Structure 1
Amino acid sequence: MASQPLPMLYNELTPLSSSVHADWKARSINSLHFLKGHHMVPLAAEEFIDAGRSYPIIFSDGDEIIPLALMGLNEGFNTFVNEEGQLADDVYLPAYVRRFPYMLVRMSQNDTDTLTLCFDSTPGTIGPDIEGFAFFENGEPTQESKDILAFCESFEVAGQKSVAFTQELKELGLLTDGEFTFQLEGREEPFIYRGFRIVDEKKLFELRGDQLRKLNQSGALSLIYAHLFSLRLINMVFQRQLVQNPDFARSIGLEVRRADEVLDQTADA
């Protein structure tokens, strides 16, 4: 593959080939250890309502605006994946993670760009010696391969819709720099989390009627409110990190000794 930055989670991307991988097999990933070191996960806009019940939804800070599920406050620490690589109970798993280790990649062939199904074999779930389902049978894709391709294709469509959604937010000037402030009892200085964007409610309320009608008709308005409501969960993420990560607690002047310690704090977005 071309030497370009790989997407989050991926260590390599190899095009799936009926000639090269004729006898290769794959099995499902049963551990999320690969996710433990990531505190944010990309989201599709259509996932906001489901994901917003589990995590705060924020937007990346930069030229390319990406919706993100915030799963921890410190880079490299995910509060929803335990040491055994299992996801917390009743928590939504973003499609970006469910797609791994597969992905559609735009590749040039005969002066034409095509989307090619690729995979990452580093998790150890794909290879010629794996016990699982076959990618090909008599040179043709198996039903499992077709299902993987269909899921990746639906993910691409959802991604395009997300780009249109974030572009609409940008054009209406609704995005603003976000800030979460946590004031802990007994600590003079608050802990402040920055470096992301959120929808500015004041600007949302100031939109003209025709602009609000357009957002409502496109379904974007319900997604905006799913995002805004989800921000109330930031206090829960902060508390999870205090309990699970003693180094983080000590870095802000606390010593958490028991998982059931109750810490009085507030969070303002």
Structure 2
Amino acid sequence: MASAPQLPLFYNGLEPLSSETHADYRIQPQDSAPHLIGQHAIPITTDEFALVQRFMPIVFSVGDDAIPLGLMGLNEGVNVFIGDDGKLVDDNFYVPAYVRRYPYMLARLRPESEELSLCFDPSSPVLGAYDEGDKLFENGQPTEVTKQILAFNEQFEQAGQRTQNFMRELRELGLLMEGEVSIQPDAGGQPFIYRGFQMVNEEKLNGLRGDQLRKMQQSGMLPLLYAHLFSLALMREVFGRQVQQGKTPPSLPQGV
């Protein structure tokens, strides 16, 4: 079932980054992402649709607060792009910004506050009081590395706002419908039916008035919808990877 994750996905906790508390913290480069093992659906932003649709199917989670998801597998607990060692199976792959953001995140320290603070997951081995690695602070001030991390997180938040606006328009136009994909295995037998996600109703899209379509074209929304629709052809490719990796469920699946 591809439902909206209970954010924040991957995070075990959040702690505000402080020049006092974390004055001696450094970043240690990681060559793997263990938190990605078995994660089959990753939140993505509309800014990424053009890149994501080259590698993964783009679908929408179920529910009123639907979000776009890049499918790294068609079944719970299956990720065909990440090996058991947490490393990418293929070097030529677009890693979603949500993944690259970890272990950092902009968050409100108090519910009533409008200000966002740069936080991190204290359980992550990426940063700590290490002897080697890039410093986060120097002489009580953020280093260039920390400034770059903050800038990336700010850009991600802005992309998130654009994605929320896109989803609101999608709901107002009534273009989302329950998705279903049937995949016939090459070896024959009964098809695998995947449900539990939403997709754009292409018939409704084609039936929109000319002025509505023109407005969507001018706003950049229409190309995003077609990127999503074109990406659905990758369902079979992801299914094929699951077969090759021996990760196809023995019984007919009911959702992604």
TM-score by length of 2: 0.91
2:231 match: 230
Return closer, same or farther for 1:216/1:148 CA change in 2, 3 Å cut-off: same
Q: CA deviation at 1:6?
A: 4.7
Kindly provide the CA deviation profile for residues 22-76 of structure 1, in whole angstroms up to 9, marking residues without a partner as x: 1111123320221012001100001001010000000000121110001101111
The reply on whether 1:89 has 2:80 as its aligned counterpart is no
Q: Percent identity?
A: 51
CA distance in 2: counterparts of 1:36 and 1:241, whole angstroms:
14
Letter of the 1:136 partner, please give it: F
AA in 1 matched with 2:28: R
Alignment of structure 1 residues 1-269 onto 2, 5 Å: 6-87=7-88, 88-108=90-110, 112-129=113-130, 131-184=132-185, 187-246=188-247, 248-252=248-252
* Counterpart residue number, 2:3: none
Q: Distance in 2 between matches of 1:47 and 1:186?
A: 35
- CA deviations 1:155-201 (Å, max 9, x no partner) are 00000000001111111111110011112356543211101001111
Give 1:266's aligned residue.
Answer: none
| Secondary structure of 1:19's aligned partner | coil
Residues of 2 paired with 1:6 and 1:53: CA distance?
26
What amino acid is the match of 1:99? R
Q: In 1, are the aligned partners of 2:193 and 2:252 still within 8 Å (CA)?
A: no
Distance 1:130 1:181, change over 3 A: farther
Structure 2: give runs of 5+ residues left out of the alignment: 1-5
Looking at structure 1, the residues matched to 51 and 84 of structure 2 have their Cα atoms a distance apart, in angstroms, of 25
Runs of 4+ in 1 over 4 A off after TM superposition: 185-188
CA RMSD, 1 decimal:
1.8
Provide the C-alpha distance between the structure 1 equivalents of 2:72 and 2:187, rounded to a whole number of angstroms.
26
Q: Residue in 2 aligned with 1:265?
A: none
Contact kept in structure 2, 1:49 and 1:223, CA below 8 Å? yes
- Asked whether the equivalents of residues 200 and 229 of structure 2 are also in contact (C-alpha less than 8 Å), the reply is yes
Q: C-alpha distance in 1, partners of 2:152/2:185?
A: 44
Paired AA for residue 104 in structure 2: Y
Of structures 1 and 2, the one scoring higher in RCO (CA 8 A, sep 6+) is 2
Bigger drift between 185-194 and 162-171 goes to: 185-194
Instruction: Name the SS of the counterpart of 1:68 in structure 2.
Output: strand
Which amino acid in the other structure matches residue 24 of structure 2? D
- Aligned length, in residue pairs: 247
Q: Residues 79-104 of structure 1: CA distance to partner in whole angstroms, max 9, x if unpaired?
A: 00112222223111100011111000
Q: Shift in Å at residue 212 of structure 1?
A: 0.5
Question: In the superposition, relative to structure 1, how do residues 231 and 130 fare at CA in structure 2: closer, same or farther (>3 Å)?
Answer: farther
C-alpha distance 33-130 of structure 1, shift in aligned 2 (>3 A): farther
Query: Which structure is higher in strand share?
Result: 1
SS of structure 2 residue aligned to 1:103: strand
Deviations 1:100-140 (A, max 9, x none): 1100012228x533101001132312111252111111111
* 2:61–2:69 Cα contact (<8 Å) kept: yes
Moved more, 57-66 or 22-31: 22-31
* Structure 2 CA distance for aligned equivalents of residues 252 and 169 of structure 1: 31
Mind listing any 5+ residue stretches in structure 1 that lack a counterpart?
254-269
The 2-side partners of 1:112 and 1:9 are apart by 24
Summarize the Cα distance change of 1:251–1:156 in structure 2 as closer, same or farther, 3 Å threshold.
same
- CA offset at residue 21 of structure 1? 0.7
Larger radius of gyration: 1
Whole-angstrom CA distance in 2 between matches of 1:135 and 1:13: 17
